[in-house]
Amino acid sequence: MKGKIYLVATPIGNLEDITLRALKILKEVDLIAAEDTRHTLGLLNHFEISKPLISYYKQNEKTKSNIIIDRVLEGQNVAIVSDAGTPAISDPGEEIVKQAIENNIQIIPIPGACAFVNALIASGFSTKEFLFVGFLSALKKEKKEKLEELKYEKRTIILYEAPHKLLGTLEAIKEILGDRDIVLARELTKIHEEFVRGKVSSIIEQTEGIKGEFVILIEGGEESIKEKQTSDLNQTTLEEHYNYYAMQGLDKKEIIKKIAKDRNINKNEIYQYFLKK
């Protein structure tokens, strides 16, 4: 009979955040696949759990997934853990889940700590809708392109960032998204946990020499890209507005309907305008 794969969340700082169920599963499985076996060994030792470990990290995710899947097909139960938090959230895990699905293997998530969820719920920003982006590219050009993409995002934006790149990322946010309200959720669940709130510029001033792990939350913009385009179009002449939609291949009737909607005026007025032309 096939075994099962458990995706086990581990603490992001405070060891008391491990769940009873996570401990039970870690004690019961045949094998634990860990992002960093030495790191996980520390966690297992703390809870007096002794289990065979196999390394499973981003760079060897594909090949190691094959090996783990073979073990599960032979009947072993395997737990996947990352260094901290929930596996597959900016951490290895995605690949094995895909392969498990292809092999009809049961995947069981074991909930627990996740940095961005805790950062979000205490941020004070909208939790109704949000966009988790994770790490931005380390490459300057790609980082800028991604931020450009987020410029008109109305939902709360959530980023992960490495401590030594924090300042550079905050500068880029200020340059591209403007001096928005942001929250830095620092050292979650640890002794120095804090939420630094304010405009990007004021937070940049406070981050000199700041240490620890961070989640960056950015308040959603007021205007979506569609609204921005509409308001830009509304600044043009009716002819320019007409040509914009004509270039998209729309017919006269559709164009007039769209202009009327954009400008919030009766479409007959627009018909009359173009009749007189």
Q: Which residues bind ligand SAM (CB under 6 A)?
A: 12-13, 82, 84-86, 89-91, 114-116, 160-162, 185, 187-190, 213-215
> Considering only CA atoms, which of 40, 58, 61 is closest in space to residue 49?
40
d(C-alpha 7, C-alpha 33), whole Å: 10
**Strand ranges (DSSP E) for 53-191?**
53-55, 78-81, 107-110, 130-135, 156-161, 181-186
> Taking the complex as a whole, how short is the minimal distance between the CB of residue 13 and ligand SAM, in angstroms?
4
- Decide: 254 and 247 in contact? Cβ < 8 Å: no
> Taking the complex as a whole, how short is the minimal distance between the CB of residue 112 and ligand SAM, in angstroms?
9
Q: CB-side exposure of 65: number of CA atoms within 13 Å?
A: 19
CB nearer to ligand SAM: pick between 60 and 103: 60
Cα angle 160, 164, 165; round to 5? 55
CB nearer to ligand SAM: pick between 99 and 169: 169
CB nearer to ligand SAM: pick between 203 and 255: 203
Residue number of the CB closest to ligand SAM reads 85
> Taking the complex as a whole, how short is the minimal distance between the CB of residue 18 and ligand SAM, in angstroms?
13
CB nearer to ligand SAM: pick between 130 and 245: 130
CB nearer to ligand SAM: pick between 130 and 242: 130
- Decide: 253 and 181 in contact? Cβ < 8 Å: no
> Taking the complex as a whole, how short is the minimal distance between the CB of residue 94 and ligand SAM, in angstroms?
12
> Taking the complex as a whole, how short is the minimal distance between the CB of residue 221 and ligand SAM, in angstroms?
22
